[in-house]
Structure 1
Amino acid sequence: MSSDTADAIPFRSFERLRAETYTDAAAAALLIWDYFLTFDLEVSLMWPSEWSIIKILFFLTRYLPFFDVTLVMYYQIKPNITEETCRRTYEPAGWLIVIGIIIAEIILVVRTWAIWGRGKRIGYALLAASILAVVPVLVIENIFLKSIVFSPHPGPATPGCLLTSANPIIALSFVVVIVFETFVLVLTLIKGVQQCKLRNHDIILLQALMIID
């Protein structure tokens, strides 16, 4: 790579690459640590249970992260990696991350639907909200991944993919997820308050009956 090309790459791109590498490495370590901390619970609670959609979703959200983390660490630390290889690993890693998030959100939606007694109205509301959240996220992710531009490193021994340009629209996907999870949180809080009031009412009624007796 010529010195002119190296000078054309902003130094902040190298700083961002190193920061992303350290962050991803820390996240990978936390993932492995959490896995071993909870493995005994998985064996005792999930393995003996009957197969269901929820069980399948659990194992998908449990083990898919190991695939995308492997891809991420590969393109973050491999030296002398080409721009084409960067794209071929970055795109599937990005889609795996999105799929993992969607699966986790589905589990959250099912849980919320369950605490609301699996009512039809709340089920339709959660389904509509899920569609309104998932479709934009998929569209945004596609636009983002198609816009990414990698640049070669100044030296072949420099590890990682140097992402120098991408559509900032990806930030909108986080906004969509935050809005969706806020909606689910509000539903959960409403049901929690209702259950708390009902429990307090039952306690007061029981105390009154004890006094009468």
Structure 2
Amino acid sequence: MSAVTSPAAQAAAAKLIEAIKANVLVNYTAIGCTAFVVADYLQTLPDEIEYMWPTDWSLVKVLFILVRYYPFVHTSISTWHHGTGSLTGSKCFVPFIMDAFSCLTVTLICEAISYIRLWAFSGRNKYLLVFLVPYYTAIRGVEYYYLVKFVKSLDFLKAPAGANLGCITTKAESKLLSAVFITVLISLTSVTLLMMFIAYQRRLIAEGIGGSGSLFKLFYRDGIFYFVCLSSFAIANIICDFAAPQNGMQFIMVQVMLHTEGLIAGRMLIDLRVHARKDISTTGNLPHLLQSTTDRSRTDVEFAPYNSHVVPRVFVQVRTETASLKDY
């Protein structure tokens, strides 16, 4: 029996064919996310122009610009990595590593928005801020640590010139990549639990402050939605890392999660601005919100849907046992 038709050679050929199929599927999924991002951008652009562009510059606006437009940079990197068939062997390291760290950059931006939302939801609690800053830094540090270890474990198939097979992973310690997603899941869960604890303490849900259109209810609803979506994707990635064939198929959900994460984070900020505008327009019918009291402390909550140099900023007074949304 020749070496070509030996069982070992046939098994190797079958594995190669499966790896090629997996690579094509993962590549098409990643490239398909580009259309998803563009479609969402075009749909939400009118609201962005109306509600986000006229606002004064702040940390939240900078993060919005990043989460809104950096995905296009990431998509370019991802398309280069997944859509260039001539890449093979050692040539795959640079685009793969750039794609991997670009993915983590998207998560870094989205999680920063999530942490700031939690701080605002708490009423700008300084003790919570003292906890969140080092906690956020530590979480991101752990994620980068495992990602660096993961990319060091990679190896790629060296295909013949002209084969146009693209980057096919032949070696990868997927458990290290799953550690990144586990860390993301821990971060999402801890932030959500803190938000639920704060909401329970202040009885925001039970008392229904501001009615069904309340900004505070919107904060809570969007936060829960963000957690459910992103934690589901994180769990899906963890499952893929452990259960999917280790021929590249384990990466099938990575780009889906990252593009969805950026999309939801951007939409949450736009939605918050829309509701802030509505709340401002109704404060004239709620004079009791503006009355000072001696038995309850109060704090100013600032909403700036317009350029403050053109239209004066609007301040709405609410009790300090609710929340402060000044950054929004």
TM-score bucket of the superposed structures, by smaller chain: 0.7 to 0.9
**Separation of aligned partners in 2, 1:192 and 1:35:** 32
Tell me how far apart the structure 1 counterparts of residues 18 and 177 of structure 2 sit (CA, whole Å). 20
Q: Secondary structure at the match of 1:164?
A: strand
Map of 1:26-45 to 2, 5 A cutoff? 26-45=32-51
The aligned runs of 1:31-180 (5 Å cut-off) are 31-153=37-159, 156-168=162-174, 169-180=176-187
Verify: 1:12 aligned to 2:21, yes or no. no
Aligned to 1:205: none
Number of residue pairs the alignment of both structures matches: 198
RMSD: 2.3
5+ unaligned residues in a row in structure 1: which ranges?
A: 201-213
Q: Is the 8 A contact 2:20 2:165 kept in 1?
A: no
Deviations 1:13-70 (A, max 9, x none): 2222122112112212111111111111111122111112211111111111111211
Residues 128-187 of structure 1: per-residue CA shift (max 9 Å, x gap): 331231111010111111221111235624342111111221101101111110111112
Give the unaligned 5+ runs of structure 2. Answer: 210-328
**Structure with a larger share of its residues in helix:** 1
* CA deviation after TM superposition for structure 1 residue 8, in Å: 9.3
User: What's the CA shift for 1:192?
Assistant: 3.1
CA distances 1:185-206 after superposition (whole Å, capped 9, x unpaired): 1122223332123448xxxxxx
Deviation at 1:9, TM superposition (A): 6.0
1:197: which partner in 2? 206
- TM-score normalized by structure 1? 0.83
2:88–2:159: 8 Å Cα contact kept in structure 1? no
Match of 1:188 in 2: 195
TM-score by length of 2: 0.56
Name the SS for the 1:161 alignment partner.
coil
Whether contact under 8 Å (2:199, 2:205) holds in the other structure is yes
The percent identity for this pair of structures is 25
Question: 8 Å contact 2:78–2:99 — kept in the other structure?
Answer: yes
User: What one-letter code is carried by the residue in structure 2 that aligns with 1:146?
Assistant: K
Q: Distance in 2 between matches of 1:80 and 1:170?
A: 26
* Structure 1: distance between partners of 2:81 and 2:188: 31
The one-letter amino acid of 1:52's match is S
Name the stretch that deviates more: 88-97 or 98-107.
88-97
Find the counterpart in structure 2 of residue 210 from structure 1.
none
> 1:105-142 deviations in whole A, cap 9, x for unaligned?
00000011001001112112222331231111010111
Amino acid at match of 2:151: L
2: distance between equivalents of 1:146 and 1:58? 32
After alignment, is 187-196 or 160-169 more displaced? Answer: 187-196
- The residue aligned with 1:211 is none
Structure 1 residue 7 displacement after superposition:
4.0
Do the aligned residues in 1 keep the contact of 2:147 with 2:177 (CA within 8 Å)?
yes
Q: Partners in 1 of 2:85 and 2:66 — Cα distance?
A: 31
